Structure 1
Amino acid sequence: MIKVFLVDDHEVVRKGLIYFLSTKNDIDIVGEASNGLEALSLLEENKVDVCVLDIQMPMLDGIDTIKEIKHKYPDIQILVLTSFSNDEYVITAIQHGANGYLLKDSDPEKLHLAIRKVYQKEEMIDEKAAIHLLKHIKKQPSATLEQEKLNSLTKRETDVLKEIVKGHSNKEIAHNLFITEKTVKTHISNILSKLDVHDRTQAALLAFKHLNND
């Protein structure tokens, strides 16, 4: 049985959810709350697997409630069930630990499926909400991944890469950095592997975009 706790400031919505979910033989409604503060208090008294909550609520809204639940009860899976699909709510909820995001106009059976998925530690994002996540990702420059790869280099590997950008040969790099040519070759091999490029020219082009090559 999946132990579910419901949090929504609209009593009609809560009662409707309880009525529907009670018909499912794998769901056990262990509690309900009308706001985040009430939920946090009641969660202390109940063993909960999945918390289904709204975003906009009085006293303590959904985002802050998610933060608190993940801090105090990290094992509880959180499914946001809301009417809001805009960028701010979707992205913020996911960033703070929500395991799923579903809109209230979804088919009831989809809610049941979503609860089961997050319980199994799978992500479940409503298609309409997913559009906003994709837009957010697309807004992020592709340079982010490249920068992460560059950040994975050691200080010495970065020094070697900067020498490559300047067009220096292995012999010149060895002389400038007071290391052997064999060591230079080892560093270059590591650099190509970490940056996922095929040759030193591609590595230099990537580095030129991001590194300060004074």
Structure 2
Amino acid sequence: MSSLKIVSLGFLFLGVFFLMQIILPFISFQIWETGIKYQNQLISPTTSRSSNVLGVTITNSDNFSYFVSSAQRKNPPNYVEFKLTIPKLKLNKKEVLVDSNDLTRGLAHLPGTALPGEKGNVFISGHSAINFFKDIKDAPFAKLQDLKKGDKILVEAGGSEFVYEVIELKVVKPSDLSVINPPDTVGRYISLMTCVPPGLNFKRLVVLGKMV
């Protein structure tokens, strides 16, 4: 076999390999999403949440849409970030910027939403990516869809630790603001949101946890 044919075959296999890195996660996500929808039909749905969120708009940048909040907190906390740990995903003490709309720096806590331990919904957004192309440090929520009901979410803030338990996973449109609101007015919740399929911008996965 000539060297030219060997090089051509090498490029062909490399092209197929990269293509599969994109296609397989997409197919896997479609199967996973179907399973999540079926599971949610088998359980009692959480209380319907209002889609009206004061001060929150949807901003588009480079074909990527995300939530932006203009809410101002009357009593800011004495910390500018808190730590997020998800044992199931081996995510350990990842910094979350408080009251931030800047997703370029990592995980961002949506301004105006509850602080850890408070009643309401601690709303956190972060990027996902196809694992082959990005390290988990650059896309901390790349494996968020691996979570299941009952998995723990740990938060360290202001010298205290709070434990949440996953109670629901759902896939929504990027324009669905209702996921920002808590399911009720008395519980203490946390929501983790990222793009799905991983690395693409079609839909949003929201993992809802409740403090235990």
Between structure 1 and structure 2, the one with the greater Rg is 1
| Fold shared by both chains (TM-score > 0.5) | no
If each structure's strand is expressed as a fraction of its own residues, which one has the higher value?
2
If each structure's helix is expressed as a fraction of its own residues, which one has the higher value?
1
What TM bracket, shorter-length normalisation? Answer: under 0.3
* TM-score between both structures, scaled by the size of structure 1: 0.24
